[in-house]
A and B are shown apart, each in its own frame.
Chain A
Amino acid sequence: MILPLLKGLKITLGRFLSRPITIQYPEQKVPPAKRWRGIQYFEKDEKGKTKCVACGLCMAVCPSQCISIVTAEDEEGKRYPLTYELDILRCIFCGYCEEACPVNAIFVGKNYEWVEEQRAPFLMNTEKLLAEKKFNP
């Protein structure tokens, strides 16, 4: 009866003297997995603008319907998104938008940290999606 008690004490003492395995989050981070699907970003073309041609496939495929696009045409007859809105609070990060995109404009990124005090800033537009590129080299 007494030996198992002492054995238990020995084990906990060993644990006490071993190094903690805690990862101290804000300072230390676990790199996200290879196939991690985080916040989306836009790939830029040569002119630094979005590659998006506003075909509306991502809008159609999105299961949570968080993407809305208003299409426009420039002088050369090329389509571009007048507004591209992605409500990141509604997004379920399924990655269908990336799969559906025919011109490789939108990608799901690695970033998962985003804090705001209000809901409105979470509505991503083209600029925000382009800016998000910096987290995904």
Chain B
Amino acid sequence: MSIRDRSVAPTTPILEEDAAMWTAKIRRSLVSTLPPERLIPDRQPSYLSSWIYMFGALTLAALSIIVVTGVLLSLEGPTWWHLSSVGLFVNSLHLWSVELFFFFMVVHLWGKFFMAAWRGNRALTWMTGVITLLASVGAALTGYVSQTNFDSQWIATQAKDGLNSVGVGAFFNVLNFGQMLMWHIILLPLAVIAITVLHVLLVRKHGIVPPIELTEANQGGEA
């Protein structure tokens, strides 16, 4: 028998008196919103047979390299990444994975824009992608000013004028190295990772947006 039963049976029966508990309510809500077979599906629709659908996953792959190399840089510190050959290599990996992250994310954005990927109740998925892009720009800027070299000093003095001109310099001071480092290694990575996880969960919940022609065909010619 090659076809297996794909349904997932609960391992522990829920007692009747426990059904009203908040834990049971949250569990039921989570499972009904995102059943395991939809969270990690075995198969994808045939319309995904195009290279343009690869760029979201490529962006995630680049993000994972950024996180791993960023953790290594945090553990070892500036002397290591400026002076040792391994440190320089990891620093370069961190930079180039960021370059690829933005490259893939922009191609992903263009692809989803021309697919009108917000169709079918997917507006929140689209907006979480937009916020991830904005948070990533902030993460990149704070990274450039946290390099501890002449390049970072030059970028900080230039960015300072730009940020002061829009009135945010008082609480987001790019010349304050400690503040920029905290934004770069704690606040913005947390934001980017958390919103990316939400973005992926929303994609899993609503499914990958079907092509416009397919939607029109299903709706009898109506968009």
Whether both chains belong to one complex is answered with: no
